Amino acid sequence: MDIVHYSVLKEEVYSYLEPGEDDSLLIDCTLGEGGHTEMFLSRCPHLNTIGLDADEKIMDVAKQRLAVYEGRARFYNQWFNGFFRQYPLGDERPDLILFDLGISIFHYEKSGRGFSFLRDEPLDMRLSADLEISAADIVNNYPESEIADLIFQFGEERYSRRFARAIVEDRKKVPFETTVQLAGLIKRVSPPDYRRGRIHPATKTFQALRIAVNGELARLDSVLLNALQILRPGGRMGVITFHSLEDRIVKHFFKSLNKTCICPPEQPICNCKGRKIVDILTKKPVIPTEQERSENPPSRSAKLRVVRKISDEEFRI
């Protein structure tokens, strides 16, 4: 078994989600190769875990890694939003929920599905075989305006329109099939100073295509409420994000449930009888130490936010 991914913020995650004596179930919503789950199982003999992942191949790696904990680790090969929307565990509720929203190094180095522009691979980017539209489908078939909007919204790429125009012109000659084709085009049409920048000029475009192909932001937006409703009162939920679009969704969601009043600001007297649903345990996002960033450069953009659920009272979003 060859483990290639280093789970980020492991000690920080454990510090905020450390199980108490009465905590019996952790749901790892983004299992990957099982790094976070292995940490909890090895340190907490009384804890049981459930691991979710849409990618069957990476889940097979996690199953091998966690085989020693047979009986304490269960696995569901599905998207996390579908799991919580059609919650299959009945009255069994988790005490701890963890989301690590980063893409595993496994996908960049071993999936062969075109997540990295540094490898000459098919332009696919699907995390699960059940998805119909690949990255190649988008760049070869979407209208120029939709490609530009997608790159701008999901990649926050300032040259989105320039790149979309070049993509549409180039695909008239030959369809895009590989990562090298697309990355090469973007580098070629980028301004000189952008080509020489700190990051590859295709970085944000590849991020945008991956998010679009896998519906990442929509899945995150829909799962947070359902997951928190399933979490038992007193339980804790942590979310690790890797870019501002994800972090903004998580931050605003947690803040909305931390309010005691949801009356309009112009209303002089509160009559909503509001009660906050969560306590925010991380007033500022927790970020990796300088040592972790040095040892594991992909961790540099990670941010951890954690809440404790107070009540099962009806949620007000």
Predicted pLDDT at 110 = 78
Structural domain count of the chain: 2
Instruction: Give the gyration radius of the chain's Cα atoms.
Output: 21
Chain position carrying tokens 């009356």: 263
pLDDT digits (tens, 9 = 90+) for 145-202: 999 999 999 999 999 999 999 999 999 999 999 999 999 999 999 999 999 888 899 9
Residues 161 and 153 sit within 8 Å (Cβ to Cβ):
no
Domain containing residue 127: CATH number? 1.10.150.170
Round to whole Å and give the CA distance between 301 and 270.
39
Statement to judge: residues 117 and 136 lie in one domain: yes
Residue 83 falls inside a structural domain: yes
Q: Which of 214, 230, 250 is the last residue of a domain?
A: 214
Cβ pair 238, 224 in contact under 8 A: no
The least confident of 7-16, 56-65, 273-282 is 273-282
The whole-angstrom separation of Cα 257 and Cα 315 is 8
- The reported pLDDT for the residue numbered 221 is 94
Q: What is the mean pLDDT of the chain?
A: 92
Q: Each residue of 213-227: pLDDT tens digit?
A: 999 999 999 999 999
Statement to judge: residues 116 and 209 lie in one domain: yes
Mean pLDDT to the nearest integer, 238-264: 89
Residue 180 and residue 120: Cα distance in Å, rounded? 5
Q: Which amino acid, one-letter code, is at 142? A: Y
Over the stretch 54-110, which tens digit does the pLDDT of each residue have?
Answer: 999 999 999 999 999 999 999 999 999 999 999 999 999 999 999 999 888 888 887
Beta-carbon neighbour count of residue 240 at 10 Å?
27
DSSP structure class, residue 104: P
Confidence band (pLDDT; 50, 70, 90) for 2?
low
pLDDT tens for 112-132 read 889 998 889 999 999 998 899
197, 214, 231 - which closes a domain: 214
**CB-CB contact of 135 with 117 (8 Å):** no
Same domain, 251 and 263: yes
**Is residue 153 domain-resident?**
yes
Tell me, what DSSP letter sits at residue 314? P
317 belongs to a structural domain: no
The pTM for the full model equals: 0.91
> Angle 132-218-244 (CA atoms, 0-180°, nearest 5)?
120
Residues 208 and 150 in one domain: yes
Q: What gap in Å lies between CA 26 and CA 14, rounded to an integer?
A: 12
Domain ranges, residue 265? 10-104+216-309
